[in-house]
Amino acid sequence: MTALTRPETDRRAALDACEAGGRVDEAFLARVDEHFPRLHELFTRLYGGRADGREELAATVAAASASWNARPLDLKVRDAQRGADPGWFQSERMLGGACYVDRYAGNLAGIRDQIPYFRELGITYLHLMPLFDTPERDNDGGYAVSSYRRVNPSLGTMPQLAELAAELRLAGISLMLDFVFNHTSNEHEWAQRAVAGDDEYADFYLIFPDRQMPDAYERTTREIFPDDHRGSFVPLEDGRWIWSTFSRQQWDLNYANPAVFRAMAGEMLFLANQGVEVLRMDAVAFIWKRLGTSCESLPEAHLLLQAFNAVLAMAAPGVVFTSEAIVHPDEVVGYLSPDECALSYNPLQMALTWEALATRDGRLLQQALERRHELPPGTAWVNYVRGHDDIGWTFADEDAAELGIDGHAHRRFLNRFYTGRHEGTFARGVAFQENPTTGDARVAGTTASLAGIEAGDPRGEDRVVLAHALALSTGGIPLLYLGDEVAQLNDYSYADDPVRRGDTRWVHRGNRPRDAYAQRGDDTTPAGRVFHRLTKLISVRQQSPELAGNALIPFHTPHAAVVGYQRPGDGTRLLVLANVGDAEIEIDPLTFSGFAQTSFDLVHNTEIDLDEGVTLRPHGFVWLRVTPA
């Protein structure tokens, strides 16, 4: 075994390993020249003290070389296209959709049958929830992965997945899959070998003989799934303890061991070669642990992501990462860089959209758009109204305090509001992971149910549309949870299912609502009306170049209920004004003195004379094309 030394020496060892594995392609070599130095530096920072550093680095690069050799030609063509247009995901034509394969379409063949619908809707980016082999019963909705190379047999096969990816690509849709790399399931081969006493694999996980270390770590870690188990560890049958941040069948990998990095990089490259164009880097905040810290978003977590990025850049250069970090906003933005994750979920905007709808006060959201929206060049937000997970109130307490809001009390209010416990609430949600010790909770529910449609609130549909109007216009990729566009309601049947009962997120993961889809052309139904209004917004977005990219200029009005921003284009701007309140608001003409008198309301297809001011209905909004005066 050899430790890492100088870059040139280690590079030689890596190339020798590549050659031992077969031909080394010219194009690959050129990318090694470009990316090896940073990979080496990252490895040195992560694994400089390890005796096996050089072997693992060499094996990683050799795996990348073999993966490039095996990469199908059409994917290499795609790589070249992406290389020529690295900002492809910034386009105003981008629209994401997310669904579970089984719940939405039965299986992969069913998803294929939905391609015409995806095109009708304008989807260009499809997130299929984890579809891999997984423990049969408890599997955290597929996030406990037993093999990254085998599709769950009830959904299809790996060749079918690759074929689907190719068909989607032809239809203009990029496939995104989860790379659940913080943990494997307890049934993964590595996990099985680890518990069986295979030393090589025992070091893939964090296993302790007794409670001494687990107790020490748990002094500073957060409980993520307290309904499943308290703390961050679960007991093994033999009395030892294993790190398990999420549910008991999800065992955290030990990234302090470079063999884990090498092995997972191999799984990542395998997926990239199936035609996955975006990898959703699941639970990024948790991948590195250090005693005495929260074990979240540590500097090494970033180094690891950058190292995965460098490997990808060598062997599948067209693929990008989306970071899934549901943490403090300062930390979320830290994962975004072209060398780390080009895309990131925007949990702050999501949560504050709901916050604004509950309070009828847009100031926290406006503040977030002003100070937390900007991103490094070459990166973009993924903006969503809700996902397959719960809604957590991830705003910064210090931001809220500036507006006189007590973060802790406000979260409690929002939880009560959205779980239907606050008097007069329009929301029908369910609490998720209520922590008896801290009183924390998050919220589950579909957009339509949370927005008031389930409760029969006359403003419910307007709220659904308003929330999407924000996600579709603030920048980056808007991501729709499929079913929301036809106002899908909560599905309470999970409570009767012994497997799903313990996880209230299933309330918003119902099957594809066939009836609602059948009504989508019928404006006398909520499904039809919501569909009609949302598809209109999508088509306006597609035709508004101002909505490309991420640039956003705040726009102030004297009304607390109005959220305002401009999206700069070439000569024109798109001015968004959204009223999150229950009352009609008239915005004074003086507010618009910086613009030419005539503007065009893109959503309602009418000219607006700004000298007459702008009137916003309750929960109304406008997308105005304006010209700076």
| Shortest separation between residue 139's beta carbon and ligand GLC, angstroms | 10
Nearer to ligand GLC, 43 or 251 (CB): 251
d(CA 444, CA 374): 28
Q: Binding to ligand GLC (CB under 6 A): which residues in 493-552?
A: none
Stretch that binds ligand GLC, among 137-145, 297-305, 526-534, 552-560 (CB under 6 A): 137-145
**Site pattern 176..215 for ligand GLC (x: CB under 6 A):** ----x-----------------------------------
Site string for ligand GLC, 376-395 (x = CB under 6 A): -------------x------
- Does residue 281 bind ligand GLC (CB under 6 A)? no
Asked whether position 143 contacts ligand GLC by CB under 6 A, the answer is: yes
- When asked if residue 246 is in the footprint of ligand GLC (CB under 6 A), the reply is yes
Inter-CA distances, 50 with 54, 256, 332, Å: 9, 9, 30
- Which residue type occupies 319? V
Span near ligand GLC by CB under 6 A; candidates 136-144, 302-310, 327-335, 582-590: 136-144
Interatomic CA distance for residues 95 and 470, integer angstroms: 14
By CB under 6 A, name the one of 164, 264, 281, 283 that touches ligand GLC: 283
Residue 476 burial (CB count, 10 A)? 26
When the beta carbons of 267 and 361 are compared against ligand GLC, the nearer one is: 267
73, burial (CB in 10 Å: exposed 0-12, middle 13-18, buried 19+): exposed
Contact between residue 467 and residue 481 where contact means Cβ atoms under 8 Å apart = no
For the window 13-52, what string marks contact with ligand GLC as x by the rule CB under 6 A?
Answer: ----------------------------------------
Smallest distance from ligand GLC to CB 13, Å: 35
Q: Is 282 a catalytic residue?
A: yes
Q: Considering the rule CB under 6 A, would residue 282 count as an interface residue with ligand GLC? A: yes
Task: Give least dist CB 354 to ligand GLC, A.
Answer: 18
Distance of CA 553 to the CA centre of its chain: 24
**The one-letter amino acid at 532:** H
Q: Work out whether 140 is an interface residue with ligand GLC (CB under 6 A).
A: yes
* Distance between CA atoms of residues 135 and 629, nearest Å: 62
Contact range with ligand GLC by CB under 6 A, out of 40-48, 139-147, 536-544, 585-593? 139-147
Strand order in the sheet with 562-568: 553-554, 562-568, 573-579, 621-626, 598-601, 606-609
**Cα Rg of the chain (Å, integer):** 25
Nearer to ligand GLC, 118 or 132 (CB): 132
* Secondary structure (3-state) at 538: helix
CB of 287 to ligand GLC, least distance (A): 12
Minimum CB–partner distance for residue 242 and ligand GLC (Å): 16
Considering the complex, what minimum distance in angstroms separates the CB of residue 134 from ligand GLC?
A: 11
Cβ at position 180, least distance to ligand GLC in Å: 5
The reply on whether position 111 binds ligand GLC by CB under 6 A is no
Kindly tell me which of 8 and 136 has the beta carbon lying closer to ligand GLC.
136
| Token pair of 62 as six digits | 């050799």
Closest to 67 (Cα-Cα) out of 14, 24, 131: 24
By CB under 6 A, how many residues form the interface with ligand GLC?
9
Q: Which class for 612: exposed (0-12), middle (13-18), buried (19 or more C-beta within 10 A)?
A: exposed
Contact stretch for ligand GLC (CB under 6 A) within 40-48, 135-143, 472-480, 546-554: 135-143
Answer for the pair 247, 228: CB distance below 8 angstroms, yes or no.
yes
Nearer to ligand GLC by C-beta: 267 or 546?
A: 267
Count of other CB atoms within 10 angstroms of residue 70:
12
Cβ-based nearer residue to ligand GLC, 183 or 619: 183
Nearest distance, CB of residue 247 and ligand GLC, angstroms: 7
Residue of 324, 461, 462, 491 with catalytic role: 324
Annotated catalytic residue 324: yes
Phi/psi-derived region of residue 335, left when phi > 0, alpha when psi is between -120 and 50, beta in every other case: alpha
By beta-carbon proximity to ligand GLC, the closer residue of 283 and 332 is 283
Are the C-beta atoms of residues 206 and 242 closer than 8 Å to each other?
yes
| Closest distance to ligand GLC from the beta carbon of 437 (Å) | 20
Provide the token pair at 592: 């618009």
Among 92, 267, 282, 503, which one carries the catalytic annotation?
282
Determine the residue with CB nearest ligand GLC.
143
Q: What is the amino acid identity at position 555?
A: F
Q: Give pairs for 201-204: CB < 8 Å, separation 24+.
A: 203/254, 203/257, 203/259, 203/260, 204/253, 204/254, 204/257, 204/259, 204/260, 204/263
Direct distance between the N- and C-terminal alpha carbons of the chain, in angstroms, rounded to an integer: 69
Q: Report in angstroms the alpha-carbon separations of 614 from 81, 281, 469, 561, 587.
A: 43, 42, 18, 14, 5
What's the CA gap between 143 and 194, in Å, rounded? Answer: 20
Residues 307-336, mask of contacts with ligand GLC (x by CB under 6 A): -----------------x------------
The piece of 88-96, 119-127, 138-146, 368-376 that touches ligand GLC (CB under 6 A) is 138-146
267 counts as binding ligand GLC under rule CB under 6 A = no
Q: Annotated catalytic sites, by residue?
A: 282, 324
Which residues contribute to the site for ligand GLC (CB under 6 A)? 140-141, 143, 180, 246, 282-283, 324, 389
